[in-house]
Amino acid sequence: METQATLIEVSRNFLILTYTHVQQEKEKRAARDYVMKYKLLKSVSKANFCLFFTYKEVPLQAKPNAIIEEKSNHQIMSQLWFRVLLVATTVKSILGLIILFGLLGLSISVFFVGLRFRQSHHCPIESKISLFLIIAGSGSIEWIVLSIILSIITIVLKHIRSFILVCFIVLLALLILITNIILFGWVICGSVWTLKVFDSVQYTNRSMNTFCQKTLYHFSLAYLVMTYVLTALQCWYRLCILIFCSVQEQYGI
């Protein structure tokens, strides 16, 4: 019995030593693997190491171009000519948009009045008055609609970053400016046609060459007066904005 107990004890000690040796070998192998990995990482150059761990940034290399484009757009928008162009062709508030919509309704009325009395027998004393109202109304509709679109863009998109959008704004503003210049020249022509017959026009006897339909002629007069008054107010308003912006920029208010 004593011999059997001794054999069992020896076997148990042998198993314990074997297990301990195996565990130590595993720990040594793990330590060697760790050292090898560490040496391998140290052997990699610093540039390659950075490149290896920053490969995900490669698709974002377009960012510098976007930054350059944004800076260039900012430089365009900060130019004096760009700001003057926007001041001359847009409004900066909801109230301004409401006024533009009111003027749009007036322009539509002007167009339809001229279209209604477009035949020459409605105003034989000056048949061009109806043509004046038709072209003035259609031209006013065009520039007001474009001004509304441009004003909404500049109000909603205060921070413009797209170069295409900046080009579109400049193109739209130039188109509005050119339309306004043409309309102003057309209003001068309409003023000549309307006012030169002011003393001789009559509204009762249709058989005479001095006849002109009363609604047509009075509407033309009212449109001319309103156009000159609104043009003067608009010039004064935009001049005040330019002066205010210049003072604000100069003194950093």
Overall average pLDDT of the 74-90 stretch: 62
pLDDT of residue 155: 79
The pLDDT value given to residue 56: 38
* pLDDT recorded at residue 215: 92
Report which of 238, 69, 249, 26 is spatially closest to residue 163, judged by C-alpha positions: 69
Is residue 84 very low, low, confident or very high in pLDDT (cuts 50, 70, 90)?
low
17 pLDDT band, cuts 50/70/90, is low
Q: What is the pTM of this model?
A: 0.63
Q: Stretch 153-164: mean pLDDT, rounded?
A: 72
Question: pLDDT tens digit string along 194-203?
Answer: 999 999 999 9
On the question of pLDDT at 99 being above 90, the answer is no
Mean pLDDT across the stretch 54-67?
40
Structural domain boundaries of the chain? 2-62, 79-251
Q: What is the pLDDT of residue 163?
A: 74
Q: Are 186 and 135 in contact (CB under 8 A)?
A: yes
Q: 53 pLDDT band (50/70/90 cuts)?
A: very low
